[in-house]
Amino acid sequence: MNEEAITEVIRRRTSCRSYEKSPAPPEVRTQLADFCATQTRGPLGTQARFLLISATEEDRTALKGLGTYGFIRNPTAFILGAVKQGPYNLEDFGYLLETIVLQATALGLGTCWLGGSFTRSSFAHALALQTEELLPAVIATGLPAESPRLVDRLIRSGAGSDRRLPWERLFFNNDFNTPLTLTETGAYAEALELLRLGPSASNRQPWRVLKTAGAWHFFLHHNPNYRKQMKLVTAIDLQRVDIGIAMSHLALTATALRLRGAWQTQPFPAPPDPDTEYIISWVEQM
């Protein structure tokens, strides 16, 4: 991906739920399919595989029964992906698939994340999903419709898509009682802002980031009611996928801005409450 443009690509991406009936030109599909094939290992070590498929009528109708929300009109393709069970597998999945979403956005395509119980769906069949693999989410994609439907705007406002949590609810300095101010953020201001614009399941934005000297600690703030609701639909914790998405926005932006760092498990300050769980840290490197 063109690293200089990544910040603009992240800003431009929003979920697209109405597509043109005609598929993307073959060269665009080939570029995206080739990019999917390169995303085989997450930053936390999970092996993964991703596949671009053309949408069939069966896929379109299947979506309704699979625990996704928000009707998608005329998706012409889907991006499918699989990971095995393992520590950080859902974070790695989110990271890699969001990287693909941003590539699709850079190629002029619309995208929408769809989380659901896909493990026994036509998608699983198309991907030849193995018994030890999970298919936690799929991406609907295609050429964005020129005029989105009224219902798209209703889904956006229903999911609160345009409402992002303010900085002081997401980013903290040394302890969870002290919000991080812009001046203390330094070179990472842009990376955190672009993390904040990331997509998340039902726009819950479960990411919390705590800064200590030279490290950015990522926590997952579970919404207990949401976790219960999701467990009814899918056994998969989509909020861990959301954390992977946030990690990708931070790391891709940092790389574009020439800020070096690596993902590590670190000793970390205690979480503020039992619903908040430490996941991983981005450790700055000189």
Ligand X SMILES: Cc1cc2nc3c(=O)[nH]c(=O)nc-3n(C[C@H](O)[C@H](O)[C@H](O)COP(=O)(O)O)c2cc1C
**DSSP code at position 90:** H
Site for ligand X contains 89 (CB under 6 A):
no
**107 or 246: CB nearest ligand X:** 246
Give the 3-state secondary structure percentages of the chain, helix then strand then coil, rounded to 5: 40, 25, 35
Site for ligand X contains 283 (CB under 6 A):
no
Among 112, 129, 246, 247, binds ligand X (CB under 6 A): 112
Bridge-based pairing of strands 133-134 and 137-142 is unpaired
Site for ligand X contains 68 (CB under 6 A):
yes
**43 or 244: CB nearest ligand X:** 244
Size of site (CB under 6 A) for ligand X: 23
Instruction: Establish how many alpha carbons lie within 13 A of residue 39's alpha carbon, considering only the half-sphere containing its beta carbon.
Output: 29
Distance (Å, whole) CA 163 – CA 152: 16
How far CA 37 is from CA of 2, 124, 223, in Å, comes to 18, 17, 34
Among 161, 234, 248, 281, binds ligand X (CB under 6 A): 161
Least Cβ distance, residue 201 to ligand X (angstroms):
4
Among 137, 138, 139, 194, binds ligand X (CB under 6 A): 137
Distance (Å, whole) CA 20 – CA 6: 25
Least Cβ distance, residue 82 to ligand X (angstroms):
15
**DSSP code at position 18:** B
Site for ligand X contains 81 (CB under 6 A):
no
Residue nearest to ligand X (CB): 70
Q: Is 237 in contact with 206 (CB distance < 8 Å)? A: no
Least Cβ distance, residue 212 to ligand X (angstroms):
27
User: Of 232-271, which residues contact ligand X (CB under 6 A)?
Assistant: 238, 241-242, 245
Q: Is 135 in contact with 129 (CB distance < 8 Å)? A: yes
Q: Which residues bind ligand X (CB under 6 A)?
A: 14-15, 17, 68-70, 112-115, 137, 155, 159, 161, 199-203, 238, 241-242, 245
